[in-house]
Amino acid sequence: MGVSWIASAEETSAAVARIEREFSGVVAWYGQATGAWWAMVRLRDKARLVEAVSPRELREAIVHARGWPWPR
């Protein structure tokens, strides 16, 4: 995965806040070291870590967390 979205700290914080408001119980963050967006998503029987290259893709990953392919 490569970095496709780079933002200021304020833009990053705002994106994380929007995602966490949109998806109750989800913890989201941008990994400065990895250059990826991450979220811990609660599923019915467990929690799942998902990774994405942008906030938009992270929303997709959260919605489809059970079958999301990253990280492996």
What is the residue extent of each domain of the chain? 9-67
pLDDT digits (tens, 9 = 90+) for 36-68: 999 999 999 999 999 999 999 999 999 999 998
User: What pLDDT is recorded for position 72?
Assistant: 59
Exposed e or buried b per residue across 38-59, where buried means at least 16 C-beta atoms within 10 angstroms of its C-beta:
bbebeeeeeeeebbbbbbebbb
What is this structure's pTM? Answer: 0.84
* Residue 1, pLDDT score: 45
Specify burial of residue 24 (Cβ count, 10 A radius: 0-12, 13-18, 19+): exposed
pLDDT the model gives residue 12:
92
pLDDT tens profile 14-34:
999 999 999 999 999 999 999
